[in-house]
Amino acid sequence: MAMDTHSVLAVLLIVGATLPYFLSGYWKPFFYKLPYPPGPPGSLIAGNAKDIPSKKPWVIYANWAKQYGDIVYFRIYRQHTIVLSSMEDCIELFEKRAKIYSDRPETIMMGLMGWDFNVGLMPYSNEWRQHRKLFQQQFRPSASLKYRPIQMKKVHDMLRGILASPEDFRAHFRTLAAAVVMSAMYGYDIAPTNDYFTSLAEQAVAKLSDSILPGAAVVNAIPMFRHLPAWFPGAAFKRYANEAKKLTTAMQVVPFKLVKERMAAGTADYTMVSGVLEDLHARGGPKDYEAVVQHVAATAYAAGADTTVSSIGTMFYALSTHPEVQKKAQNEIDTIVGPHRLPTFEDRSSLPYTEAIFREILRWRPVLPLGVYHGTSEDDVYKGYFIPKGTTVIPNAWALGHNEATYPQPELFNPERFFDKDGKLNSDDVGFVFGFGRRICPGRHMASTTVWLALVSILATFDLKRAKDAAGNEIPISGEYTDGLVSHPLNHECSITLRSEEVRRLIVQSGGVGI
C-alpha cells in the first residue's frame, strides 16, 4: 500500500523527534549526579535493546545478578528497568516503600490489546483502588470459603475425566482451572473438552504473556510508535494487538452478558457476578459500577485459569519424575485420610509432607518467573543509586526461589527443605510467588486451595510415572518450560494408573453415580 502525504509527514515527524527523545533519557543520571544501579553496558541510543534475552530471561537476569549485584539496571531506549534478585530488596522497595513502588509501568501493548481492564495491570490510581476493593471483598480468606464446594466438585470432575481417559490428563486439568473460576464468577459449567471459554482465556493470556516482557515489542520501549499505521514496516505489533483485543473483549463481555440475561429471566444461580449485581441494584448503586464488576470477574477468569494450569502442569511433571516423593506423600495420605474417602480441605493441616510438595511446586517452577512488574510513581534513591520515576521494577521470583543460600541445591525438587530440624513444617510459605506489597495477588487464597486440592486428590487416587514406548523404554521428559510472562511446562506424556479398585469406586461416587 502506498503511503499518502499525511502518513509520510507523520513518520518524518516521529523520526525527527526520536533523537532528542532518546538522548534526554540517556543524560538524566548526570543531571542528578547519582548513578543508576550497575548492569550490562549499553549503547547511547538503544541502550541494552540487543542484550535482552527472549529465552529463559529469569535465568539470564539471575546470572546478571551474580555479575553485577542483586539490583541490576538496564535500559531499552528510554525505558529504564531494574531487576531485583534478593528478598531484602523486594521487601524494602515493594513493601516498605510501597507508596513509590506500587504503580504499574506503562506497557503500550497491554493497552492496544485491550488488557487495561485487568485489575492486576492497572496503574496505581483511584480506579485501581475501587477495583481492588471489590476483588478483596470477594477473594479474602473468609470470602474464599464459599467457593470450596465448587472447587471440590470441579476437582472430582477432573478425577473422573482422568479415570475415563488418562492419556488426556492435560485437557482435564486445563478444564479444571477454567471450570472453577467460570462457575464461581458466572455460574457457567465448562464442557469437559474443547470448551469455548477455556480456549478463549488461554489464547488471550498467551498473547499477553508473549507481548509484555522487556524487549518483546518495540512499541513498549518507544511509545510514540503506537501512532504508526498498521501497514507500516515494523508495525506488525498493531495487527497482533488488534487480534488480541477481539479475544479480551469477548472474555469480558460474553460471560458477563450471559449472567445478566439469566438474571433478567430469573434463572441465574448465585455467583460472584449475580450476587454483586443484585446487591448493587437493591441499593440503587451507580450504573457505571457494573463495569467494575465486569472487569473484576474477567480478571479472575483470565488470571485464575492460566496460572492454575501452570501450577498443576508442574505438579504432573514433578510427581512423574520423582516417584520417591510421590510414594512418601501417598503413605501420609493413606494414614491420615484412609482408603474409604477422598481428601477434603479439612485434611490440609494434617498432611505436612503434602503441604511441603505444594510449596516446592510453587518455588521450583514459579508460575510467573519474573512476577508482575511494578513501576515507580516518583524518583527515588536506594543504596546510593538513582531510580527515576517511571522505572519498571521486576521481582525475579525465579531467582528468589533459586537462591542457594536460602534453598541449597535449588534445582532439586526436594520437599524436605520445608521442614525444620525437629521435622515440623517451617514458616516459609513461598509467598513471594504471589507478589509483594499492595500489588500482591488478591486471588492467591482461592488459587492456592485449588492447586492444593488437585495435588492431594491426584496423590490419593493415581500413580504417576514416566510413560514407556512400545519397547518398554521410559520416554524422557524434557523439563523445558515456555518463556512468556506465565511459564508452562512443555507437553509430555505420562503414565497414569489407578491405585486400587476402591479408589475407582470413590471417584465414580464423587459424581453422585453408583457403580
Annotated binding site for heme: 441
Packed helices 444-461 and 501-509: angle between N→C axes, nearest 10 degrees:
140
Q: Which residues contact 116 (CB under 8 A, 6 or more apart)?
A: 110, 122
Residue whose entry in the numeric block shows the C-alpha cell 534475552: 53
Rounded Cα distance between 120 and 441, Å, is 8
Q: Which 8-state DSSP code applies to residue 339? A: S
Q: At what angle do helices 148-164 and 444-461 cross, to 10 degrees?
A: 40
Cα distance between residue 401 and residue 413, in whole Å: 12
Q: Is the dihedral of CA 408, 310, 248, 130 positive or negative?
A: negative
How far apart (Å, rounded) are the C-alpha atoms in residues 340 and 378? 59
- For residues 135 and 129, is the Cβ–Cβ distance under 8 A? no
Contact 343, 453 (CB under 8 A): yes
From CA 118, how far away is CA 10, in angstroms rounded?
32
Strand partners, 509: none
**Would you call 74 helix, strand, or coil by DSSP?**
strand
Q: Which residues are annotated as a binding site?
A: 441
Picking from 168, 94, 137, the residue whose alpha carbon sits closest to that of residue 275 is 137
C-alpha–C-alpha distance, residues 331 and 353, integer Å: 10
Q: Which three cell numbers stand for residue 445?
A: 487464597
The helix or strand, by DSSP H or E, that contains position 153, with its residue range, turns out to be helix 148-164
- C-alpha span between 310 and 300 (Å, rounded): 15
- Measured between alpha carbons, how far is 441 from 448 in angstroms, rounded to an integer? 11
